Structure 1
Amino acid sequence: MLIIRLMSKRRTWACLFIVVYTVLLSSSWNILKSILSWYETTASSSSALYASVALGALFGLLSMAAALAVAVPATMVTWVTVLVLLAFCGKPRTALVDEGKKLTFEIVGFVVKILIREGNVVAAICAVLVYVALFRRNRDDVV
């Protein structure tokens, strides 16, 4: 009973979100530092390419996680709104259950496609920017 009451509170979910996001950010910060330290030990033009791709992928994953944090509540509101509108239109309960299952799969598929597309765009932009920064830094160290 206590667990059910706690999980129904908005504060509990907010705290869980903060804890998970903090763990995600701290682990990504450690991955970022390890990639940069690996690059500094090898410091060549090919390692700049590998480091920029790894950093771009990391930033792409982080942007997908941030977008997911925004997309989930908006998706739930859309899903509930459509189901309520279908209920007001006079659909029977069995039809609502079937429509709800179809809606769930369609909405989740749509959200996943958007997240992957946006994450890839952010990853590509970050990879190019990091490569330019690392290549310029490596060129300045040589001169």
Structure 2
Amino acid sequence: MEPLPPYRILPPDEDRVFMELQPDLADTLVVSWHRDALRDLWPYPYETGALLRLALLQAEARTVDNFALSLCLMSLEYVTPAEECEAVERLIARGFVERVDDTYVSVNTLALNVIERALLPAQFRMEWNAAKADWPGPPSAQQLTLL
């Protein structure tokens, strides 16, 4: 086991990354990542997946249709329960998760929070909807060929 990461104090800021759980629904939950937490976790997919799973369980979210969020969670399909527990211990050491008692942990909402879409500022939602409407969609399969 590698040494535990240092404890991270996240500065409170409004610069966050938002991802909808179900992009096709207007009334959906939104995952709100702190940018510094994402930067710290991107080289550690198991920790990223564990943090996201804990936040979704805490918010009692049932369905995820967002491809990027599904990729984060997919990394947990390849680890044992002991390795997932180790990832949670590393998240506790980072300060992204707090231990409540021997069997329960709580996600630091500054690092990752699951909120209702209606709680986002109206101006931001309007710009987000406009950007989604202008997006042409994923590239066609022909553009994805590597040969």
Q: TM-score range by the shorter chain?
A: under 0.3
Q: TM-score, normalised by structure 1?
A: 0.21
Bigger strand fraction? 2
Larger-Rg structure: 1
Structure that is richer in helix per residue: 1
The TM-score, its normalising length taken from structure 2, stands at: 0.21
Higher relative contact order (CA 8 A, sep 6+): 1
